[in-house]
């Protein structure tokens, strides 16, 4: 079964590398929409085998005999590595699909009034385990209720991307703060960290697709350089602005303003 899983996994990985290399291979002139279509179709098709892989790993983890520590749990470690890589690939595929759809304007963005504070609580809850694993103190400063107008799902994805980055790029024992307010009919979202910071020359590029200031660190953290492009797209579709101020070794602050 492990060999079969390995073969499927290798197949998906090869397919993904073809998707990525197509970005460079297809000439820009006239073929841009075909390239977008290809990326959207490929990402969509990859979702099913990836979720089959993940549930197969789950099933195997439940059925294999527990192995004694001293024998070195080789199969357990192998499965855990596979799970991590499949999750990484699933996130990449989902980000690629979001961006391909955003290029072709096929994403329906909702506009409704909702309690943004409640969404922020949920986002904080979902990143809490990652922060706790690095002893990072995670704080929220916001009114008890904060009504906002926009797409609830997209705005909570925005929070998740910024918080996840803030935690990923902050060393153990640091601080991450999310502040929400409404100022002059604008929803103001501020994510502040005491992390590694971003060099001036990288600050102009980090919203570009696949741009990573520190490739090896980003990869180690499970990143692939698409989060901030999606964040920027979400802010743009809401007619808002995103500002970054950062100092290497001191930390970064992202401020988003969305008209209400
Ligand atoms: P990734 O998946 O690599 O995190 P993103 O698009 O979210 O991709 O971010 C692009 C790059 O910007 C990252 O690789 C990292 O170098 C830098 N970055 C983003 N957020 C932060 C942060 N809070 N502190 C330091 N660097 C950051």
Could you tell me the distance, in angstroms and rounded to a whole number, from the CA of residue 199 to the centre of ligand 1? Answer: 11
pLDDT of residue 25: 47
- State if residue 198 touches ligand 1 by the CB under 6 angstroms criterion: yes
- pLDDT for 200-214, tens place per residue? 999 989 999 999 988
Could you tell me the sign of the dihedral formed by the alpha carbons of 232, 238, 239, 242, in that order? negative
Could you tell me the distance, in angstroms and rounded to a whole number, from the CA of residue 99 to the centre of ligand 1? Answer: 17
Could you tell me the distance, in angstroms and rounded to a whole number, from the CA of residue 202 to the centre of ligand 1? Answer: 10
Of 153, 12, 35, residue with least CA distance to 99: 35
Of 254, 238, 237, residue with least CA distance to 149: 238
- Give the whole-number percent of the chain exceeding pLDDT 90: 55
Kindly state the average pLDDT of the residues 56-84: 79
- State if residue 85 touches ligand 1 by the CB under 6 angstroms criterion: no
- pLDDT for 40-63, tens place per residue? 888 888 888 999 999 999 888 888
- State if residue 174 touches ligand 1 by the CB under 6 angstroms criterion: no
Looking at 4-8, 116-120, 196-200, which range is the least confident one? Answer: 4-8
Could you tell me the distance, in angstroms and rounded to a whole number, from the CA of residue 70 to the centre of ligand 1? Answer: 39
CA distance 227 to 165: 8
Q: Whose CA is nearest to atom 20 of ligand 1?
A: 165
pLDDT for 139 beyond 90: yes
Instruction: Answer with the residue of higher pLDDT: 3 or 169.
Output: 169
Instruction: Answer with the residue of higher pLDDT: 33 or 98.
Output: 98
- State if residue 89 touches ligand 1 by the CB under 6 angstroms criterion: no
Q: Whose CA is nearest to atom 4 of ligand 1?
A: 223
- pLDDT for 108-131, tens place per residue? 778 999 999 999 999 999 999 999
- State if residue 191 touches ligand 1 by the CB under 6 angstroms criterion: no
Mutate to test the pocket of ligand 1, among 169, 216, 222 (most ligand atoms within 8 A of CB): 169
Q: Whose CA is nearest to atom 14 of ligand 1?
A: 212
Could you tell me the distance, in angstroms and rounded to a whole number, from the CA of residue 187 to the centre of ligand 1? Answer: 23
- Give the whole-number percent of the chain exceeding pLDDT 70: 85
User: Could you tell me if 99 and 43 are in contact, meaning their C-beta atoms sit under 8 angstroms apart?
Assistant: no
- Residue 205 has phi, psi (to 5 degrees) of -115, -15
Place of tokens 């197949």: 11
Looking at 9-13, 128-132, 145-149, which range is the least confident one? Answer: 9-13
pLDDT of residue 71: 62
- State if residue 195 touches ligand 1 by the CB under 6 angstroms criterion: yes
- State if residue 157 touches ligand 1 by the CB under 6 angstroms criterion: no
Could you tell me the sign of the dihedral formed by the alpha carbons of 153, 188, 182, 234, in that order? negative
- State if residue 224 touches ligand 1 by the CB under 6 angstroms criterion: yes
């Amino acid at each position: 079964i492990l060999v079969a899983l390995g073969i499927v996994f290798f197949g998906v990985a090869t397919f993904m590398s073809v998707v990525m290399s197509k970005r460079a291979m297809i000439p820009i002139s006239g073929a841009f929409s075909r390239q977008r279509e290809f990326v959207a179709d490929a990402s969509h098709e990859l979702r099913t085998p990836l979720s089959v892989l993940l549930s197969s790993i789950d099933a195997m983890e439940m059925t294999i005999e527990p192995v004694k520590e001293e024998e070195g749990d080789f199969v357990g470690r192998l499965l855990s590595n596979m799970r991590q890589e499949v999750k990484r690939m699933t996130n990449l595929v989902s980000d690629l699909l979001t961006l391909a759809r955003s290029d072709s304007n096929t994403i329906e963005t909702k506009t409704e009034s909702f309690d943004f504070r409640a969404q922020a609580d949920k986002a904080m809850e979902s990143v809490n385990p990652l922060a706790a694993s690095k002893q990072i103190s995670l704080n929220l400063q916001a009114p008890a209720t904060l009504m906002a107008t926009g797409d609830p799902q997209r705005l909570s994805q925005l929070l998740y991307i910024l918080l996840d980055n803030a935690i990923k790029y902050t060393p153990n024992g640091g601080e991450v703060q999310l502040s929400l307010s409404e100022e002059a009919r604008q929803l103001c979202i501020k994510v502040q960290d005491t992390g590694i910071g971003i060099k001036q020359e990288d600050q102009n590029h980090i919203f570009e697709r696949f741009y990573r200031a520190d490739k090896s660190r980003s990869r180690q953290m499970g990143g692939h350089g698409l989060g901030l492009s999606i964040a920027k797209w979400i802010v743009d579709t809401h007619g808002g602005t995103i500002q970054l101020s950062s100092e290497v070794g001191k930390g970064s602050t992202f401020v988003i303003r969305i008209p209400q």
